[in-house]
Each structure stands twice: as C-alpha cells, then as structure tokens.
A and B are shown apart, each in its own frame.
Chain A
Amino acid sequence: MNELVEHGNPQNWYLVLSTILFSIGVMGVLFRRNGLIILMCVELMLNSVNLLLVSFSAYSGNTEGQVFVFFIMVVAAAEVAVGLALLVSIYRNLASTDINILSKLKW
C-alpha cells in the first residue's frame, strides 16, 4: 500500500496509533465515573484526532490540516475552561464529582 513512500514511516502506523489512543479515550469515558477523568479522556480523544490530522497534513503536503489542529486546540481549551467550571460548580453543590449522582434528568 505504501510502496510510493520513498522512505520514512508508513502513514498507516499513525492511523493505527491514533485509533488505539482514541479507543483508550472512549474506554476511559465508559470506565470511570469521576467527571474530571472523563474530561481528561475527552482531551485524549481530541489529541488522537489531532495526531491523525497532523499526519495527513504532513504526508499530503497540505498545511490546512495543521491549521485545523490549531482550531481544535482552541476549542479544546475553551471546552476545558467551561467543563472545569461546571465541575467545580457540581462539586460545590453535591460535594462529589461522581457523574452517577447526576441522575435527576430522567422520567
């Protein structure tokens, strides 16, 4: 598949790596109940996507991918700021960051 690459690592490796990182992030979200760690797992997932985008950008010689990564970072930073504020607010009200306590939103 990658015969055309003159030398260096095949791009597939990056695909596999970011897939694995993404899956670990998803697993973390499913596995943990602490809101803070779920937030961190989300960051991990975002980063795996960033890595994928950078690799595509690098292998196809197109800068747009990196610009996109830059914007994702911006969004991630904003998201963390708001997310942590939410977490602080939740903790202040419920004295816990366990997401399973937040089960008011049901029938």
Chain B
Amino acid sequence: MSSQLIFFMLAALSIISALFVVFSRSPIYSVLWLIVCFFSIAGHYVVLNAQFLAIVHIIVYAGAIMVLMLFTVMLLNLNKETEPHKTNLIKFAAIITGGMLMLVLLAAMRSTELTTYVAPERMETGFVQNVGMKLFTDFMLPFEMTSVLFIAAMIGAVVLAKKEKH
C-alpha cells in the first residue's frame, strides 16, 4: 500500500505544480514551480527503481537548465507581469483543446494491452551499472556523438546571443 500512497502523493504534486507553471502570472514563479515539478518526477524515477536517471534528472534539469532559465528571467527583467492579456476566447479555446487532446490520448491508452510481468521494485534495470554498461557498449557511438551535439549547441548559443555590431 505504501508504494501506492507514494505514487499518488507524487502524482498530485507533479500535476499541481505543472498547473501552476502554466497559470502563474509571473515567469519567476513559473520557473520555481517547474523545479518542484521536476523534483516530483525525479521521485517517480526513484519509485520506478531508476536511481541513476533520477540523479541525472535533478542535476541536469534542476541544477543546470532551470538555473539557466532563472538567469534569463532575471537578465531580461521579466519577473513582473508584462504579458498582455489574451482574450478569454483564446484562453477558453486553449483549455478546451488541451482537454480534448488529453481525452484522445487517454482513449488511446485505454485501448492498449499492457503485458507487464514483473513489478519494478524487483528490477535492477535502472542501476548505474546496467545503464552504464548499455551506454558504453551498445550506445557507444551515439553517446560520443552527443558531445558533437553539445559543441554545436554551444557555438550556436554564443553566436545567437552575442551582441550584434551595427
């Protein structure tokens, strides 16, 4: 029972924080709520016995990406509510569309036939050793290639963000 309890608490936390991300007036609150959401997702990873990913998730998202976001918010001085209000029609349409998408996706999920045999608590798939073995044997080339991707992203970011000379 306890695992169910943990799941529901984490699920509630992630859904609520996700909603706050969307509906917060100020960008800075959105960022902070997103961090909460990411932590809850990391919790899910732990429950699913994927410790390595949980740690990486926290380091990458909470530690790097969200800090970057925060810096951007402060740098651009976006923390006050400057966004002009959208018309109610658009808000309504957005919510309806999002809800319908959810319904369609859930309907699709319902028709799936899941064939699960083992509970995740017994599995060792998420251990660092196993993921590491996979990464450095079968996925060696893609893994190395990610460094090329990062270089490209870094150069791109520098080129895009640097001040243009007039």
Q: Given A43-B61, A51-B44, decide whether A59 and B120 contact each other with a Cβ distance below 8 A.
A: yes
Is the CB of B9 closer than 8 A to any CB of chain A? Answer: no
Please give me the residue from chain B that is nearest to A80 by CB atom.
Answer: B65
Greatest chain B CB density within 10 A among A40, A63, A78, A81 is at A63
Residue of B57, B83, B106, B160 touching A86 (CB-CB under 8 A): B160
Q: Which residues of chain B from 47 to 71 have any CB-CB distance to chain A below 8 Å in the complex?
A: 47-50, 52-53, 56-57, 60-61, 64-65, 68-69
Q: Are A8 and B121 in contact (CB under 8 A)?
A: yes
Other-chain residue from B84, B115, B121 in contact with A4 (beta carbon distance below 8 A) = B115
**Cβ of A30: which chain B residues have Cβ within 8 Å of it?**
93-94, 97-98
* A2 in contact (CB, < 8 A): yes
Contact B114 A12 (CB under 8 A): yes
* Distance between Cα atoms of A64 and B115 in the complex (Å): 17
A105 at the interface (CB under 8 A from B): no
A47–B4 touching, CB < 8 Å: no
Please classify the interface of chain B as helix (H, G, I), strand (E, B), loop, or mixed, using the class held by over half of its residues.
Answer: helix
A33 lies within 8 A of B94 (CB): no
Evaluate contact between B98 and A43: CB separation under 8 angstroms: no
A23 and B105 in contact (CB under 8 A), knowing A4-B115, A44-B18, A88-B161? yes
How many residues does chain B have at the interface if contact means C-beta atoms less than 8 Å apart?
90
Q: In the bound complex, do residue A77 and residue B98 qualify as a contact, i.e. CB atoms below 8 Å apart? A: no
Bound together, the chains give a CA A91 to CA B50 distance in angstroms of: 39
B residues sitting closer than 8 Å to A (CB atoms) are: 3-4, 7, 11, 14-15, 18-19, 21-23, 27, 30-31, 34, 37-38, 41, 44-45, 47-50, 52-53, 56-57, 60-61, 64-65, 68-69, 72-73, 75-76, 78, 82-84, 86, 91, 93-95, 97-99, 101-102, 105-106, 109, 112-123, 125-126, 130-131, 133-135, 138-139, 142, 146, 149-150, 152-154, 156-161, 163
| Chain A residues at the B interface, C-beta cutoff of 8 Å | 1-2, 4-9, 11-17, 19-28, 30-34, 36-37, 39-41, 43-44, 47, 50-51, 54-55, 57-64, 66-67, 69-71, 73-82, 84-89, 91-92, 96-98
Q: List 29 A-B contacts (CB under 8 A).
A: A14-B48, A16-B106, A16-B109, A17-B11, A23-B98, A23-B101, A24-B21, A30-B97, A31-B91, A33-B83, A33-B86, A39-B69, A43-B34, A55-B44, A58-B120, A58-B125, A58-B126, A61-B118, A61-B125, A63-B131, A66-B50, A66-B53, A76-B61, A77-B150, A77-B153, A84-B68, A87-B72, A87-B76, A96-B82
